[in-house]
Structure 1
Amino acid sequence: MVKVWIVGAGGQLGTAINEVLDPLEAEVFNTDKEELDITHTDEVIGFGEINRPDVIINCAAVTDTGLCEAQPELAYRVNALGARNLSIVARKTGAKIVQLSTDDVFDGLSTTPYSEFDDTNPLTVYGRSKRAGENYVKEFTHKHFIVRSNWVYGRGENFVNSVIEKAKSQRELPVASDQFGSPTSARDLGRIILHLIRTNEYGTYHATCKGTCSRYEFAKEILKLAGLEAELRPVPTRESELSSVRPAYAVLDNFILRIIDVYEMPGWRASLEEYMEEWMNRGGIG
């Protein structure tokens, strides 16, 4: 039975991976910052040497872009040094490592989707700290999967759940019409990660649901599936209370997945529909 260590297990992606993982196939070690601080090198190495994981999945990160700008040292400690420490464990134990990354490693100035071979040029502290984490993973271990995604949603705080909550209390919602990306459910991201760790197809991957939309179009689909009737108003990012300042064009091309024909992601609308059905079954709880 494979031993899988999920770091940042309490977040939306860690939760989703636990939901789609077959407990008969893996022994899972779930840790979050309460159990293990990944910025403490000796603590991380000690945990790894005791438990000897076969796979490490790093979902831990400081993702709040405003917090990263205000506290860059925190961003780099968690997003860069945390990834380094986990990579040291992977090298010591011979484990595979999955490093979750983001479209924010790009500048968002393109008009065509970014592939894995495009040069990174992050404009934010968050993006730079995540790129530093990628570089540490590449430096310390070759048995790695760097997985970039964007507009991820699942259980917890995210755009989907924010739109739903605000629609319950506001008649009109101003939503950014100048941000473009590919909404991706945490469950679908978890599924591709579990597929990759069964292979030796190491490297960097873009993994988003198929298709592109604006935040405004995304919000329209969310409200339709939720059966809510708030009025949406398309506005620039600066006027939207639902969208932090992120790269304007966050579309990733799943180029490597396509050319090696290893896995096909679903369309973003079908994926959102699956999530919203589960949301209804949970009684509308995010």
Structure 2
Amino acid sequence: MIKVWIAGSNGQIGHALNEVLDPLEIEVLNTDKDELDITDTEEVLNFGIVNRPDVIINCTGVTDTQLCEEEPELAYRVNALGARNLSIVARKNGAKIVQLSTDDVFDGKSKKPYTEFDDTNPLTVYGSSKRAGENYVKEFTHKHFVIRSNWVYGKVGQNFVNQVLEAAEKGNALSVAADQFGSPTSAKDLARMILYLINTNEYGTYHVTCSGVCNRHEFAKEILRLSGKEIELKAVPTEQSDLSAVRPPYAVLDNFILRIIDMYDMPDWKASLEEYMNERTEK
């Protein structure tokens, strides 16, 4: 049995990991900000010394892009220094570490999907702080998996799927960006892939998204179709959109490494969304 520390266990990926892991194979150490402050170096080191995890999965983060712009010190403290502190523990324990990252490390100006070998060029505080977190993990540990994903949705927290469904419940019309492109990715499918990866020694940086590409408007349309709800849905530019913060316009990641080493296939985004919607209905 391996011991896995999930930092940020109350977030959508932390929650999904707890849903899909096998408690007979994995002893889980769940912490969130109420239990442990990952920006406090001593607190993190003490937790690591006492519990000695084999794997650390960093699901923490300040992901609100507007908040990051308004409070850059907070963004860097959590997204960068938090990752550094967990990396120090990983190195001391000889543990593997999984660092969750984002397409926001790129500028979104490409016309083709980004691979793991493309240069990063973040244009936001959020993207810059996440890249700093990636760099700390690479600097402090060699047994690392840096996983970039995008348009992630899950059962907890504010995400695009839940926002669209809330609007539909109220019967509100929605204007949604038709000029933002990405690959909607279920937190549960991301969690399954992470659990697969930690049992390997295939260290490095990975792009992990569900397969297929759509714009935000198409994504919203599919959410409504699967929910059986009908509201007025308008395709608009980002600046006129109700739900889409200003983000990199082209957020498409190519799961290049996964493909060339033929290691793991992510499902199609529509099939993944259908599974998620069915589970919501069954609740």
Q: Same fold (TM over 0.5)?
A: yes
Identity within the alignment, %: 74
1:3-82 map, 5 Å: 3-82=3-82
Confirm or deny that 1:128 pairs with 2:125: no
CA contact (8 A) 2:3 2:54 kept: yes
**AA of the residue aligned to 2:114:** Y
Give the structure 1 partner of residue 271 of structure 2: 270
TM-score w.r.t. the length of structure 1 is 0.98
In 2: Cα distance, 1:170 partner to 1:228 partner: 9
Give the structure 1 partner of residue 165 of structure 2: 164
Deviation of the 1:172 alpha carbon: 1.8
CA deviations 1:104-151 (Å, max 9, x no partner) are 000000010000000000000000000000000000000000000000
CA deviations 1:21-64 (Å, max 9, x no partner) are 00000100000000000000000000001000000000000000
CA contact (8 A) 2:83 2:99 kept: yes
Coordinate RMSD, CA, aligned: 0.5
In 1: Cα distance, 2:171 partner to 2:26 partner: 45
Give the structure 2 partner of residue 227 of structure 1: 228
Deviation of the 1:171 alpha carbon: 4.1
1:85-96 map, 5 Å: 85-96=85-96
Deviation of the 1:169 alpha carbon: 1.6
TM-score w.r.t. the length of structure 2 is 0.99
In 2: Cα distance, 1:46 partner to 1:27 partner: 19
Give the structure 2 partner of residue 100 of structure 1: 100
Give the structure 2 partner of residue 202 of structure 1: 203
**AA of the residue aligned to 1:60:** T
Give the structure 2 partner of residue 259 of structure 1: 260
Runs of 4+ in 1 over 6 A off after TM superposition: none
In 2: Cα distance, 1:145 partner to 1:247 partner: 24
Give the structure 2 partner of residue 174 of structure 1: 175
In 2: Cα distance, 1:21 partner to 1:195 partner: 10
Unaligned runs of 5+ in 1: none
**AA of the residue aligned to 1:85:** N
Unaligned runs of 5+ in 2: none
CA contact (8 A) 2:58 2:97 kept: yes
Deviation of the 1:170 alpha carbon: 3.4
**AA of the residue aligned to 1:244:** A
- Other structure's SS at 1:242 match: coil
Give the structure 2 partner of residue 239 of structure 1: 240
CA contact (8 A) 2:6 2:59 kept: yes
Give the structure 1 partner of residue 145 of structure 2: 145
